[in-house]
Structure 1
Amino acid sequence: MLKIARGRMSVWAVTGAFLFMIVQVISSLNLPSLTANIVNNGVAKGDINYIWRVGAEMVGFALLSVLAAVGNVFLAARTSQHLGQQLRSDIYRKVINFSNDEFDQVETSSLITRTTNDVVQIQNVAMMALRMMIMAPIMLVGASVLAYSKNQRLTLIFLVILPLMAIFIGIVMWFAVPLFRAMQTKTDKINLVFREGLTGVRVIRAFRRDKFEQERFEGANQDYTHNAIKVFSIMAVMFPIMTLMMSATNVGITWFGAQLIADFSMPVGNLIAFLTYAMQILMSFMMLSMVFVLIPRAQASALRIQEVLSLDSKIKDQPKPAALPADLDHSELTFDHVDYRYRGAENRALVDIDFQAKSGQTVAIIGGTGSGKTSLVSLLPRFYDVEAGQISLNGTDIRDYSQHDLREAVSFVPQTAILFTGTVRENMQYGDPNASDEAIWRALKIARADDFITADAGLDTHVEQGGGNFSGGQRQRLAIARALVKDAAVYVFDDSFSALDFKTDSQLRAELREDSRIQNRIVIIVAQRIATVADADLILVLDNGRLVGKGTHAQLKADNAVYQEIIASQLKDGEAE
């Protein structure tokens, strides 16, 4: 908790909240003594002036207490909310810079829970710390001293009641704390199932698995609910029993106090003040116990957040990164006997990948499902780092460039076309924030996306979350256009033509070949169709992570068995020509 809060909470705000709380507690502690004075010296003696004077003091202390409470609450709320804001920003900043390896370690649903629910737990405890955790110990000590000053013999009651309360609270904590901790994991599970259900709703309906998914969510929901009912039932038992103990304390104080008054050993006013101090002592003890019950849950949340913040990316920049050449028209890309293995995997995903490409060349990668095509192109922008071998751009290992500069030089279209909420213009400017409308329309034309955009509201066409208001092919074409807006040395299309019909696919590739800028760049196309790769200058054939062939379409068709199998599976006799 302290590690999470350090540096994210203002020292001045915390100090201010502490001082305001001290003023509030001191003011509150003075009121019972003033009440005792009114009864003992004013009411008992019939001194009206004394009653008015001390009453005015009580009003002054009460107002001071209220003002101090307002100041404390304001600073506590402001500081705790700022802590939450900082944590969310830090988590997002950390996550956005994760490599794919780190994303594989922490599930997306868990990251969402940590950024929302766990941060709220920290905020609540921070607020409670600046209120109850300051108030309770000061009030407990102050009220105990003042109660002792009113009557030493009556304070013996606390030697009985406080140990009983401590034992009872300890038992409650023993059962409740593990359940509070489990609630965060169960929240993760609900988010996971709910998120999968929403993102996969079409698949669920297509396979008529609605009932199964409902039951799966109901299971996770009930598991969380039963856990919550159990823990809050335990906590609910705490309040009536604590109230019973406090009432029993009042009865005991009144009983023994009445005997002391009858023996003239204590004034009536002192008994009234002692009862008030007793309530303050017991309430402080109860508040302190509540803090100790809730802190473990917040501590669990803090550990989960710290786990994300302390997760070190394996992909790091060099202390003094190399500078990329400014001339994008003369680039050279080399894969020099590259191996790659996913985290924790027994076998390598890529083995001894070796090829070279220069500006003006189109490299196509083809192979069966799971052959390593996406793994290969993911190494280029350093989504992952090679296990062995080297990838060079313009003769320099890409690990020697900063990630920012490297990704400026690579324009990447992933397998899944991701669009963001906003307008078409805003989505296109992800490729180049300064792109003009003319440059965007040019990219849309190359990607064959200008027709359905023009038909609507032009570049101001609204894009729903995930591009839900476009078809799969339209989303792919918009994602391709976004990549083309960017002026890069290498353009990577990771199976991004799969949702296009053959005609659109052919037209788009023709536009790429004819574009004066793209003609001087390296283009890498991952595809499943022979028709898509046939015109490439160099075709790489992958099989089980190994490069089993490279050459032109004619060369591979003549002597590569794997390539021949792909042709046979897609084309009729004579069509391969």
Structure 2
Amino acid sequence: MLKIAKGRMSLWAVFGSVLFMIIQVVSNLYLPNLTSDIVNNGVATGDVAYIWRVGIKMSIFALISVLAAVCNVFLASRVSQRLGTDLRADIFKKVINYSHNEMDKVGTSSLITRTTNDVVQIQNVVMMFLRMMIMAPIMLIGASFLAYQKNGTLTMVFLIVIPILVVIMALVMGFAVPLFKAMQQKTDNINLVFREGLTGVRVIRAFRQDKFEQTRFDGVNKDYTNNAVRVFSIMAVMFPLMTLVMSGTNIGITWWGGHLIAEQAMNTGNLIAFITYAMQILMSFMMLSMIFVFVPRAQASAVRINAVLSQTSTIVNDDKAEKIDKDKPDLHFDNVTYRYHHAENPALSDVDFHVTAGQTLAIIGGTGSGKSTLINLIPRFYDVESGAVKVNGTNVKDVDLPDLRQNVAMVPQKAILFAGTVRENMQYANDNATDDEIWHALDIAQARDFIEENPEGLDYIVEQGGDNFSGGQKQRLAIARALIKDAAIYVFDDSFSALDFKTDANLRAALKADPLISQRVVVIVGQRVSTVADADQIVVLDKGKMVGLGTHKELLASNEVYKEIVDSQIRKGDDL
């Protein structure tokens, strides 16, 4: 908790909040003393003027207490909300710079929980700290001292009451704290299942697995609910028990105090004040019990957030690293081997090829052969285990990371569009892209026709995830977005899979005809032979190993794996 709070909380705001809390507590502690004076010196003697004087004094202190409480809540709210704002910003900044390895370790659903629910738990405890955690001990000590001043004999009641309260608190903590800690993990599970259900709703409906998913969600939902019912049932039992103890204490004090008054060993006003101080002491214990229950849950959240913030990225950038000359692009995989975290076998082994400016490299292979893994090594989403990925003859580890990624325009397998307009999505790759440049990219990507058909043109609204476009349209828009970026290397990860053969052919022809892109390195991952056949070089992957390198004709004449792929797609005697 302290590690999280350091540097994210204004010390002046915290100091101000504590100061106003002290003023509020002192005012509250002084009010019973004034009540005692009114009863002893005003009511008992019939001195109305004295009652008015002390009454006005009480009103002033009550007003001071209210104003101090308002100021305390205002500052405490600002501190806690600012902490939450900074925490969420820091988590997002950290996560956005994670390599794919770190993302895989933590998981998207858990990151969402940590950014929302866990941060809220910490905010609540900070608010509680600046209110209850400071108020409770001050009030406990102050009320105990003032109660003793009123009558030392009556304070013997607390020797019975306080141990009972301590036992109740210990039992509550023993049962409730582990359940509170478990709630965070169970929240993760709900987010995971719910998120999968939302993103995969079409697949669920297509395979009529609605009941299965409902049952699956009901399982984690009931698990969370049962845990929450248990923990809040324990909490619900605590308050009646505390109330019972407080009521019993009142009865005991009143009975004993009545005897003391009858024996003229105590004034009536002092008994009234003592009862008020007794309630303040017991309320302090109640506040402490709430703190002891909720702090461990926030501590568990703090540990989870610290795990995100302290996670060391495997992708490290050197500030003095070299820049890329995009006018002379060059890509070289030098005996590259890569293994996923905790994987037994490498995903890629001894991959070696060299592509120069103006050349197109195609990568083909069966499912799971390592095609996407290979291209993810180019922008350093992962770092190689051995060998080197070189751009312009320089190992990508020695290239400035922002500059490297600025010079790699990548279209992933899944076309991702953001809510907004077509123009905003296109300018995501280049903030300064003009309408002419956008239309040019749309032309190359074969996307001009369906954008022009809409009266809004480039202001055509894109719904979340691009759901108002077909799969092929989303792919073409994603390709156009990449083409707007002035990069050294253009990477298309199976980005033509949703296109018909004619559109595929037209798009590849447009790429070759463009005067800028034709001078860059183009890498195309494809499943269809027709997509890769006209590439300058074709890499054939099989089970993570490069089993072929050459042109279409060379591989067709000498590579068995490539011939099998061709035969599986093209009937004998047909041409591409």
Matches within 5 A, 1:286-301: 286-301=286-301
Q: Distance in 1 between matches of 2:494 and 2:573?
A: 26
- 1:532 aligned onto 2:501: no
Matches within 5 A, 1:532-551: 532-551=531-550
Asked if the contact 1:335/1:390 (under 8 Å) is kept, the reply is yes
Q: Distance in 2 between matches of 1:201 and 1:43?
A: 74
**One-letter amino acid of the structure 2 residue matched with residue 240 of structure 1:** P
1:519 paired residue number: 518
SS in 2 for 1:279: helix
Asked if the contact 2:363/2:523 (under 8 Å) is kept, the reply is yes
1:249 paired residue number: 249
Residues 509-553 of structure 1, C-alpha deviations (whole Å, 9 max, x = no match)? 011011111110000000000100000000000001111010000
**One-letter amino acid of the structure 2 residue matched with residue 468 of structure 1:** D
SS in 1 for 2:382: coil
Q: CA deviation at 1:319?
A: 4.2
Q: CA deviation at 1:323?
A: 2.2
Q: Distance in 2 between matches of 1:332 and 1:219?
A: 53
Q: Distance in 1 between matches of 2:400 and 2:80?
A: 36
Q: Distance in 1 between matches of 2:451 and 2:141?
A: 72
Q: Distance in 2 between matches of 1:522 and 1:219?
A: 50
Residues 315-362 of structure 1, C-alpha deviations (whole Å, 9 max, x = no match)? 00124211222xx23221111101000000010000001010011000
SS in 2 for 1:524: strand
Asked if the contact 2:323/2:404 (under 8 Å) is kept, the reply is no
Deviates more, 1:482-491 or 1:314-323: 314-323
Q: Distance in 1 between matches of 2:168 and 2:376?
A: 58
Asked if the contact 1:9/1:79 (under 8 Å) is kept, the reply is yes
Matches within 5 A, 1:153-192: 153-192=153-192
Q: Distance in 1 between matches of 2:458 and 2:19?
A: 56
Q: Distance in 2 between matches of 1:331 and 1:77?
A: 54
Asked if the contact 1:567/1:576 (under 8 Å) is kept, the reply is no
2:273 paired residue number: 273
Asked if the contact 1:335/1:391 (under 8 Å) is kept, the reply is yes
2:428 paired residue number: 430
2:408 paired residue number: 410
Q: Distance in 2 between matches of 1:278 and 1:285?
A: 11
Deviates more, 1:372-381 or 1:201-210: 201-210
- 1:261 aligned onto 2:274: no
- 1:464 aligned onto 2:463: yes
- 1:492 aligned onto 2:500: no
Q: CA deviation at 1:575?
A: 2.0
Q: Distance in 1 between matches of 2:27 and 2:327?
A: 77
**One-letter amino acid of the structure 2 residue matched with residue 245 of structure 1:** V
**One-letter amino acid of the structure 2 residue matched with residue 459 of structure 1:** L
**One-letter amino acid of the structure 1 residue matched with residue 565 of structure 2:** I
Q: CA deviation at 1:87?
A: 0.7
Q: Distance in 2 between matches of 1:168 and 1:111?
A: 36
2:200 paired residue number: 200
1:559 paired residue number: 558
Asked if the contact 2:336/2:387 (under 8 Å) is kept, the reply is yes
- 1:477 aligned onto 2:441: no
2:47 paired residue number: 47
Asked if the contact 1:512/1:519 (under 8 Å) is kept, the reply is yes
Alignment counterpart, residue 372 of structure 1, candidates 370, 373, 386:
370
Residues 3-45 of structure 1, C-alpha deviations (whole Å, 9 max, x = no match)? 1111111000000000000000000000000000011111111
Asked if the contact 1:428/1:481 (under 8 Å) is kept, the reply is yes
Q: Distance in 2 between matches of 1:263 and 1:43?
A: 20
SS in 2 for 1:381: coil
Q: Distance in 1 between matches of 2:328 and 2:420?
A: 36
Q: Distance in 2 between matches of 1:81 and 1:250?
A: 39
2:303 paired residue number: 303
Asked if the contact 1:172/1:234 (under 8 Å) is kept, the reply is yes
1:222 paired residue number: 222
Q: Distance in 1 between matches of 2:572 and 2:91?
A: 57
Asked if the contact 2:357/2:519 (under 8 Å) is kept, the reply is yes
Q: Runs of 5+ in structure 1 lacking a partner?
A: none
Q: CA deviation at 1:205?
A: 1.1
**One-letter amino acid of the structure 1 residue matched with residue 559 of structure 2:** N
Q: Distance in 2 between matches of 1:368 and 1:324?
A: 33
SS in 1 for 2:154: coil
Q: Distance in 2 between matches of 1:372 and 1:70?
A: 62
Q: Distance in 2 between matches of 1:323 and 1:195?
A: 40
Q: CA deviation at 1:419?
A: 0.5
Alignment counterpart, residue 359 of structure 1, candidates 353, 357, 360:
357
SS in 1 for 2:328: coil
Residues 71-97 of structure 1, C-alpha deviations (whole Å, 9 max, x = no match)? 000000111011110111011101100
Residues 48-74 of structure 1, C-alpha deviations (whole Å, 9 max, x = no match)? 111111111100100000000000000
Asked if the contact 1:447/1:478 (under 8 Å) is kept, the reply is yes
Matches within 5 A, 1:14-25: 14-25=14-25
**One-letter amino acid of the structure 1 residue matched with residue 573 of structure 2:** G
2:388 paired residue number: 390
Q: CA deviation at 1:576?
A: 4.1
SS in 2 for 1:318: coil
Q: Distance in 1 between matches of 2:159 and 2:293?
A: 23
Matches within 5 A, 1:14-163: 14-163=14-163
Q: CA deviation at 1:106?
A: 0.8
Q: Distance in 1 between matches of 2:196 and 2:219?
A: 15
Q: Distance in 1 between matches of 2:457 and 2:307?
A: 45
1:399 paired residue number: 397
**One-letter amino acid of the structure 1 residue matched with residue 252 of structure 2:** G
Q: Give TM-score, length-normalised by structure 2.
A: 0.99
Count of matched residue pairs: 575
- 1:317 aligned onto 2:317: yes
Q: CA deviation at 1:206?
A: 1.2
**One-letter amino acid of the structure 2 residue matched with residue 31 of structure 1:** L
Q: Distance in 1 between matches of 2:497 and 2:105?
A: 29
Q: Runs of 5+ in structure 2 lacking a partner?
A: none
Q: Give TM-score, length-normalised by structure 1.
A: 0.99
Q: Distance in 1 between matches of 2:67 and 2:507?
A: 70
2:8 paired residue number: 8
Asked if the contact 1:35/1:269 (under 8 Å) is kept, the reply is yes
SS in 2 for 1:12: helix
Q: Distance in 2 between matches of 1:402 and 1:45?
A: 87
